[in-house]
């Protein structure tokens, strides 16, 4: 620590004792309070010295990394006066191996990736209801979505897909999807139905608020999670792959439909959370050049994941509001590392992650096995793929 500039002047008592013993007083160094061994290296708990702060250590991570000869060093502030320093011994994201023991499954919380410090990255829909996933072609967006679908398929959650690549990414999972649209026309109808479903849910919440004489104060709720379990509607996760396709228009007539569709998406993003409707929006770029409404929609998507991008402007679309360093990190992702991304963290800051690779047939098999768990939502029944159109066998992986 001393070599890395993290020591301080010795205390007066030390100077006095050293003077009495005719020695040079040693500089004060931060104290190691706890040490924990993990699969990836060590986690240290350090009591910092008076006058120091988190930023001193954050700035020294590169020096510490070389001094301790570790692959990476990460610092996190704990309670005042204490820091957690993670020493990672090797490149965790080279081959992503998810921990064998995952945390107990929680509704709408799915482990999807590993962070570069070895921690598990969870997609928590209740903490961050809507998310934007961007990345250049072949950067790993669809695999990230597959991981999410695999995790959600086993939960009592309705999955709704809009896949403007003619359904090639999401159709193999149709058995578990409550609805699937793969043309902009179908998507427009589906979004209308979802907004109507959201309105119905709000009506339900309002009706349950009742606020009659007999209603106890703790029973009043402003979202579906406060409703009794027997009337609570199933949460809906709307997955949109290649969102830019929804914005494209060929002629003037399309423009009206596009504007209406974008407005419906914005309404879902603004009001969906309380009705347990969540969005996962995926695209190669997501800027104002897509057309009116794009920036308004982007502003509503709190969660940000940026895979490898071709230019800084694309990274800025996702991470510009989070950190300049995060933007730089997203532009430096190597082509031979698909699935690597930079994410904005709920706790503030950002991290590098890499999703666990899951093949198309693996997820298709999970969806076929869990098809019976698809919640029945009457409004979406018309958008469910009919058995005659479904593949009989989970399709073989084509990527
Ligand atoms: N986490 C990962 N680990 C290893 N390989 C991955 C990972 N994620 C994606 N890949 C590989 O990268 C390639 C592209 O992945 P994917 O189809 O998800 O990209 P994409 O961003 O959706 O591309 P497009 O925009 O063309 O749809 C695939 O061949 C896949 O096998
Ligand atoms: Mg894709």
Could you tell me the CA-to-CA distances from 165 to 8, 29, 367 in Å, in that order? 60, 58, 20
- Dump pLDDT digits (tens) for 260-282: 999 999 999 999 999 999 999 99
Query: Does the beta carbon of 139 lie inside 6 Å of ligand 1?
Result: yes
Per-residue pLDDT at 212 exceeds 80: no
Burial of 82 (0-12, 13-18, 19+ CB in 10 A): middle
Q: How far is the CA of 242 from the centre of ligand 1 (A)?
A: 14
pLDDT reported for residue 388: 60
288 is in an annotated binding site: no
Measured in whole angstroms, how far is the alpha carbon of residue 127 from the centre of its chain? 10
For residue 97, count other CB atoms closer than 10 A to its CB: 10
Q: How far is the CA of 381 from the centre of ligand 2 (A)?
A: 26
Angle between helices 324-331 and 312-319 (to 10 degrees): 130
Q: What percent of the chain has pLDDT over 70?
A: 94
109 is in an annotated binding site: no
User: Which of 91, 113, 140, 307 for a ligand 1 pocket mutation test, highest count of atoms within 8 Å of Cβ?
Assistant: 140
- Dump pLDDT digits (tens) for 60-96: 999 999 999 999 999 999 999 999 999 999 999 999 9
User: Which of 333, 338, 396 for a ligand 1 pocket mutation test, highest count of atoms within 8 Å of Cβ?
Assistant: 338
The lowest-confidence range among 69-83, 145-159, 210-224, 347-361 is 210-224
Query: Does the beta carbon of 135 lie inside 6 Å of ligand 1?
Result: yes
- Dump pLDDT digits (tens) for 123-146: 999 999 999 999 999 999 999 999
Residue nearest to atom 4 of ligand 1 (CA): 357
Q: Which atom of ligand 1 is nearest to the CA of 145?
A: 18
Question: First vs last Cα of the chain: how many Å apart?
Answer: 48
Domains and CATH numbers, the chain: 28-88 (no CATH), 109-383 (3.40.50.300)
pLDDT reported for residue 398: 46
pLDDT reported for residue 346: 80
d(CA 235, CA 252): 36
What would the two tokens of residue 158 be? 């309705």
Residue nearest to atom 7 of ligand 1 (CA): 339
Average pLDDT, the chain: 89
Residue nearest to atom 15 of ligand 1 (CA): 140
Q: What percent of the chain has pLDDT over 90?
A: 61
């Amino acid at each position: 620590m001393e070599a890395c500039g993290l020591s301080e002047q010795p205390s007066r008592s030390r100077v006095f004792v050293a003077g009495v013993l005719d020695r040079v007083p040693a500089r004060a160094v931060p104290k190691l309070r706890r040490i924990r061994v993990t699969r990836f290296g060590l986690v240290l708990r350090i009591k910092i010295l008076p006058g120091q702060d988190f930023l001193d250590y954050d700035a020294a991570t590169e020096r510490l990394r070389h001094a301790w000869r570790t692959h990476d060093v990460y610092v996190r502030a704990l309670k005042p006066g204490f820091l957690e320093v993670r020493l990672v011994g090797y490149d965790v994201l080279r081959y992503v191996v998810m921990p064998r023991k995952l945390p107990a499954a929680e509704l709408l919380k799915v482990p999807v990736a590993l962070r570069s410090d070895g921690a598990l990255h969870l997609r928590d829909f209740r903490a961050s209801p809507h998310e934007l996933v961007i990345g250049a072609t072949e950067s790993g967006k669809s695999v990230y979505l597959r991981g999410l679908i695999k995790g959600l398929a086993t939960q009592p959650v309705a999955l709704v897909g809009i896949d403007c690549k003619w359904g090639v990414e999401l159709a193999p999972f149709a058995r578990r999807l409550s609805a699937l649209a793969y043309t902009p026309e179908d998507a427009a109808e589906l979004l209308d139905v979802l907004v109507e479903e959201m309105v119905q849910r709000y009506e339900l919440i309002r009706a349950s608020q009742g606020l009659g004489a007999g209603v106890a104060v703790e029973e009043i709720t402003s979202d579906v999670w406060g409703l009794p379990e027997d009337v609570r509607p199933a949460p809906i996760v709307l997955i949109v792959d290649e969102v830019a396709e929804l914005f494209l228009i060929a002629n003037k007539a399309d423009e009206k439909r596009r504007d209406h569709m974008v407005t419906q998406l914005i309404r879902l993003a603004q009001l969906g959370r309380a009705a347990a409707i969540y969005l996962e929006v995926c695209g190669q770029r997501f800027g104002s050049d897509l057309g009116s409404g794009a920036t308004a929609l982007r502003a509503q998507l709190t969660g940000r994941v940026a895979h490898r991008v071709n230019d800084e402007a694309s990274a800025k679309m996702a991470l510009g509001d989070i950190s300049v360093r995060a933007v730089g990190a997203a532009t430096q992702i190597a082509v031979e590392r698909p699935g690597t991304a930079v994410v904005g963290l709920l706790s503030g800051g950002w991290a590098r992650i890499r999703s666990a690779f899951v093949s198309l047939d693996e997820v298709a098999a999970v969806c076929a096995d869990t098809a019976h768990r698809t919640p029945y939502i009457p409004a979406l029944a018309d958008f469910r793929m009919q058995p005659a159109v479904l593949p009989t066998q989970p399709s073989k992986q084509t990527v």
